[in-house]
Structure 1
Amino acid sequence: MPPSRALRRVVPCALIAAALWPAGAPLSAQEASDAAEPSPIEIGQRFTIASETLGEDRPIWIGLPDGYADSDEPFPVIYLLDGRSHFHHTTGSVGFLSENDRMPQAIVVGVGNISGEQRTRDMTPTPVDGEEVATNPNMAVAGGAGEFLRFLTDELRPWVDARYRTRSFDILIGHSFGGLFITEVLNRDPSTFDAYISISPSLWWNEEAWVAGLDDLFDRHPDAAGSLYMTMGNEGGDMLSGAWTFAGTLEKHAPDDFRWKWTHMPSESHGTVPHRSTYDGLEWTFDGWDPMPLVMAVIRDEKPVEPMLDGLEEHYATLSERFGWEISPSRELLANVGGYLNGEGRRDEAMLAYERNLAWHPEAPESHGELADILAANCRWDAARRHYGHARDIAEAAGNASLVEFTVERLEALEQLYRTAGACEPR
């Protein structure tokens, strides 16, 4: 994971570079030549899944987080309806928000449609009368949301979980009929997904009889938890009135453990509202994720580092309890803080940052190496030698030859310094 952009704006680039140990060896001449050739930029892969439930093949798009192949970390999963239309902007929003510490990295699963008729079948909760069918033939197949939900939960989700490293935290995003489908999922069982983003939902469905029938949703599901972010663009009419009706149900009946927010976006059309809603909805779903207000108190306001480190522990303990998995700061975050403090001459505080980082990331060779650097600079030879050795051993076990070489060079430099320094003066 790269250094936080928010931290980059405050910490000079040279200090960030000094704080981070190398991820690999310099490019060889041949590699540099190859790098000059054009290469594709990939944002995902497309698959086709044969669904027994639906009796048809369905296109699926998968977007993996940056660095997925280089880690063993599991990730939350975002299930995105109308995948062909929304995959590109959603993967961009997820990448941007996670890089800026507003949400975790996540896997995006775009669920594609075959035709407009099939989309109507899959995403609508009930059949409609003959008059509606006469004006729109696609409506003849309406009411198949239950089978489509079974495809998502019994076929697609197990396929994703078996193929990728996933956490037990899933988000469902749907627009228009997809937003209507989300209300059907909530109606059946709000715990099916952990969070929902319903964008301009078609709550006019069946002359708003559907949304009126949701009034007892929380009477039937009094222990509902999770979250719902709902928006509406400038559609007006029964689209808007249906959304207001459901917002009223949420206001009156949603239990305390069910977080929800309803946002009217009159400057957005039905076509443009998905992008802004997805971005805002993900940011709201992970509201409070960002650790930078705590970090900025140390860097911008020059407050002591130890209360910030304790605050980070509390911050991530709260997030872990809220989202249901163990969450800790990225290794790079405190490496950057330590590098900044060291460069500012606050070496004792830098030592605290590196020590806490090692406690959070004991299996990272860089955590040992960064701590060893500042130990050596403070003439603590034995401790520095020990942590350089740990860094070398971990890198060797991982097969990271370039980091092994870098660490050995560090050890040799330390030994040379130890032999020639005489009376050591901490630097």
Structure 2
Amino acid sequence: MAKNIEKSMVLASKFASHDLKFKVYLPDGYKGDSDERYPVFYTTAGGSRINVLKEQLAWLSHVGFGALPKVIIVTVPYIEVETDMEPKYISASGINSDLTIEVLNHEVMPYINKNFQTHPFNILEGFSSSGNFPLYVLAAKPELFNAYISVSPALVLDKSGLLAKFDKRLTSDIYKNKSLYLSLGSFTNNAPLFEGVEKALNYYANNEFNWHTEDFRTDNYMTQPMIGVSLAVQRLFSDRNPKDMAQFKTSGVKGILAYYNKLKVKYGYALSSTNALMDLSYMQIEGDQYDEAIKTLELVVNQSPENTYYLTRLASAQLEAKQNKAAKKTYNKALILAKAKGDEESIQFIQNKLKVLKL
């Protein structure tokens, strides 16, 4: 599924005692000279899990109505520290978390933003023993990322006093428009600590801090990261394509554009309203509001003039409104565009429409 371009990076570090090694995976269609930009998905995944994760994120974002937009994936570099602790416990313990934050904040993230086409929206994800790190960053430096995903964290292995940090600090305005997805895994010793975090969130969390928890105790441990990431990005980005179109029945296009202006505050960049406008046009047609539907589709076409499908949808609405001359003109525009692209399927469809309707 994935067509990610993989880049292996090595950076000299002023903070760590060694060079920083991490990977960058660019989404399908990425062009360095394009105006298109992408949110950045930072992950602690490595080994075989990163291969699964990049495929999963590619699948979830390969269509416009998917669970998340296309993202640039960056692996968080592992920072070595002097310790007698077994390697598998180091990440969960939190003893290298402050140093990792410094490296991300001052070295890795500035490098990514300078050298790649990024949006100012960053996600941090971790699972199991590496799932503690997103929680640590959220508690210690919440402004660093916009969204945090912690799937089945090994809370019982923490040695950094992480859980004590979830207190009245959560009321701060720094947590406005931040998001957290947190799930409980199948190891029973983590349950009371997880419940403690939930209580703190319920009691202290800023009203504009969006958080959600999930219980995976009955799920197989190996399925939890795949389930958790899918649910997390679905909840995180669900407002990109509003499901309740009835809320725009009266306000129409103005209501949708106002809705997306509000989303710009959360995401830090303008999201495309095209899918919502298309849904609005369907609702308008079902309500016999043909003139309104045509105006909505004309806006969509103006936003994406090279999209053959949007032109054919506009032509179809014009036909339903008995605007045959306008429909003929629109279908012919779509036909010229389809031929220029060599899109045989669209060419056949449009020619059949013109022939059957004798336009």
TM value normalised by structure 1: 0.63
Per-residue Cα deviation, 1:303-360 (whole angstroms, up to 9, x for no partner): x98865455334433433332321222379739968x969xx986465333222135x
Contact 1:231 1:264 in 2 (8 A): yes
Equivalent in the alignment of 1:351: 294
Amino acid at match of 2:30: Y
Structure 1 residues 309 and 44: CA distance shift in structure 2, 3 A: same
Structure 1 residues 404 and 240: CA distance shift in structure 2, 3 A: closer
Which of 114, 126, 149 aligns to 1:197? It is 149
Equivalent in the alignment of 1:256: 207
Equivalent in the alignment of 2:165: 214
Greater Rg over alpha carbons, structure? 1
RMSD of aligned Cα (Å): 4.5
Does the residue aligned with 1:327 lie in a helix, a strand or coil? coil
TM value normalised by structure 2: 0.74
Is 2:316 aligned against 1:378? no
Is 2:79 aligned against 1:102? no
Contact 1:62 1:108 in 2 (8 A): yes
CA distance in 2, matches of 1:335, 1:224: 32
Does the residue aligned with 2:161 lie in a helix, a strand or coil? helix
CA distance in 2, matches of 1:153, 1:347: 52
Is 2:34 aligned against 1:91? no
Measure how far apart 1:242 and its partner are. Answer: 1.7
Equivalent in the alignment of 1:77: 40
Measure how far apart 1:147 and its partner are. Answer: 1.6
Is 2:130 aligned against 1:178? yes
Equivalent in the alignment of 2:263: 319
CA distance in 1, matches of 2:90, 2:122: 32
Equivalent in the alignment of 2:273: 329
Structure 1 residues 205 and 221: CA distance shift in structure 2, 3 A: farther
Equivalent in the alignment of 2:240: 289
Q: Note the residue ranges of structure 2 that are not aligned, 5 or more in a row.
A: none
Does the residue aligned with 2:183 lie in a helix, a strand or coil? strand
Same amino acid, percent of matched pairs: 20
Amino acid at match of 1:271: M
Contact 2:300 2:310 in 1 (8 A): no
Amino acid at match of 1:111: V
Q: Equivalent residues in 2 for 1:24-423 (5 A)?
A: 42-52=3-13, 53-54=15-16, 55-64=18-27, 66-69=28-31, 72-98=35-61, 99=63, 100-111=65-76, 113=78, 121=80, 133=85, 136=86, 143-205=95-157, 210-216=161-167, 218=169, 221=172, 223-225=174-176, 226-237=178-189, 239-291=190-242, 293-294=244-245, 309-330=253-274, 334=278, 348=291, 351-359=294-302, 361=303, 364=306, 378-380=324-326, 384=329, 402=340
Q: Equivalent residues in 2 for 1:5-24 (5 A)?
A: none
Does the residue aligned with 2:3 lie in a helix, a strand or coil? coil
Equivalent in the alignment of 1:28: none
Measure how far apart 1:282 and its partner are. Answer: 0.8
Equivalent in the alignment of 1:24: none
